[in-house]
Homo-oligomer: A and B are copies of this chain.
């Protein structure tokens, strides 16, 4: 019995040593040096090479090393019957909420204007709205979205969530399904996106959607913060909406193509704040513990947590 590690875009050394430290009883081998393929019962994957997860006759579970499984699901050769488990784990959740909280505060408090003033040695005090003046809308209101939403609520923001199915979170209005999307957008001054990437959400962040957001927030035009997946967004539409004054400011942690290409006008747009898909880079120790715990459960015949619904795509 062995774990196979499929992380072709990363140096596997850190993950190998972390797994060996936390599961000394289980052998782990990094693709492509898998040895006898029949040994591999568990696959641990991040952006695996298409085709690399087939021909593993005794494979029981595929673990994603992150919350998103879109890259894994895109592989047509993926064995159909094998469960895929995604990471739903407090360390990752809390880090995402840190990113969301910081970005919302920086837009609200006009932090970049303050930094510009510092560079110009300009002492310029300007009126700042209160948190309660902003209606934050969280698109993708699962475990991550609810944690961020509750924290934003506690800071005084007026928070709502949107998801496929209605959620019950005290003090936060929950909008559900396509029928309620327009009403959710119309009441949203700051849109925080934590959606998974699925065929249904592909390109959902486009100019037509931005046009449905509130235009009556403290800054007039709305703010967009995307920490979900890059392929949710149409970057040319983001730029056009900024140009047309239909968006006031944007924070992007994810991009249509990653790493973001040097030629992208997003890099030096004064209203776009770029980070390198680092919103919720979880600690390998936490992720490893989570996966090892689930492997032990699977070996004991217990059910797996957070199994992906392939039809839904997350």
Q: Which residues of A contact B (CB under 8 A)?
A: 91, 94-95, 97-99, 101-102, 105-106, 108-109, 111, 114-115, 117-119, 121, 123-128, 130-132, 151, 154-156, 258-260, 262, 267-268, 273-278, 281, 283
Contact = CB atoms under 8 A, between A and B. Distances in A.
Given A105-B101, A155-B101, A281-B125, A131 B274 contact: no
B123 A260 contact: yes
A108 B98 contact: yes
B128 A95 contact: yes
A111 to B, nearest CB: 7
Nearest to A111: B102
Copies of this protein in the assembly total 2
Given A98-B131, A98-B156, 7 more contacts: A91-B130, A95-B130, A98-B108, A99-B109, A118-B275, A121-B267, A123-B258
Contacts of A275: 114, 118
Contacts of A91: 130
A101 B101 contact: yes
Contact of A98 (B98, B117, B155): B155
Contacts of A156: 94, 98
A239 B132 CA distance: 37
A97 B108 CA distance: 13
30 contacts: A94-B132, A94-B155, A95-B128, A95-B130, A97-B155, A98-B108, A98-B109, A98-B155, A101-B101, A101-B105, A102-B109, A105-B105, A106-B111, A114-B276, A114-B278, A115-B115, A115-B273, A118-B267, A118-B273, A118-B274, A118-B275, A119-B268, A121-B262, A123-B259, A123-B260, A124-B276, A125-B277, A125-B278, A126-B278, A151-B154
Nearest to A117: B276
Contacts of A259: 123
Most buried by B among A118, A258, A262: A118
Nearest to A90: B156
A247 to B, nearest CB: 18
A98 B132 CA distance: 11
Contacts of A130: 91, 94-95, 283
Contacts of A118: 267-268, 273-275
A273 B114 CA distance: 9
